A and B are shown apart, each in its own frame.
Chain A
């Protein structure tokens, strides 16, 4: 019973490098989300996908792109990493609107040097 799986768990990038954070869920959920958590800032929404084939910007989308590859997978791409993107990234999914609550992955800790 995996739930939401994020890879990798840890990553160190140099400024300007690119990478893709992977997220997959096995609960047949329609909606998926990417959040970042910074010290003293709580969780902030980067992008979300309400259903397969749709994506929308959240509160802090600049510097990121997303792809809803299929119903299971939702990836987050950093095209040119910056130190300000050092953070813990959480992927989440939900059956539909948030009244059901999210299920979160265990996070990816990204450091940009």
Chain B
């Protein structure tokens, strides 16, 4: 049973606009959340993370928001750039342990 869900398989955004990628989770024990970015034929690369004690974490153009009561997190990319076109995976861990549970990914296309 998928504990981390990314319900939008794909998203298309114009360059310069905001991209919002969403992620929902079902396991209330999850306390650490990460976003990974993946280009074709490459491994995923770590993008940004957030602990359950926070509701927002920002790193340059990337911001992750966490709503624990709704078991929902989102990744905002502002402004979006063509180089941001990739598959984005949401991941979560329980008790800050070792194993990450990944969502199925959202393919983002940023058009010029």
Chain A positions near chain B (C-beta within 8 angstroms) = 4, 31, 33, 35, 40-45, 48, 50, 56, 58-59, 90, 92, 94, 97-99, 101-107
B-chain residues with CB within 8 Å of residue A107 when the two chains form the complex: 41-43
Assembled-state Cα–Cα distance A46/B4 (Å): 17
Q: Is the beta-carbon distance between A44 and B32 smaller than 8 angstroms?
A: no
A103 touches B102 (CB 8 A): no
Q: Mark B residues whose CB is within 8 Å of A.
A: 2, 4, 6, 32, 34, 36, 41-46, 49, 51, 89, 93, 96-105
Name the one of B32, B41, B43, B105 contacting A99, with C-beta atoms under 8 angstroms.
B32
Q: Inter-chain contact count A-B, CB under 8 Å? A: 67
* A48 pairs with B98, CB closer than 8 A: yes
Instruction: Report the bound CA distance from A45 to B36 in whole Å.
Output: 15
Q: A48-B99, A58-B99 are in contact. Are A90 and B42 (CB under 8 A)?
A: no
Q: What's the Cα separation between A59 and B2 when bound, in Å?
A: 11
Find out whether the CB atom of B32 lies under 8 angstroms from the CB atom of A104. no
- The answer to whether B43 and A98 have CB atoms under 8 Å apart is no
Residue of A45, A48, A56, A90 touching B44 (CB-CB under 8 A): A90
The answer to whether A44 touches B43, judged by C-beta atoms less than 8 angstroms apart, is no
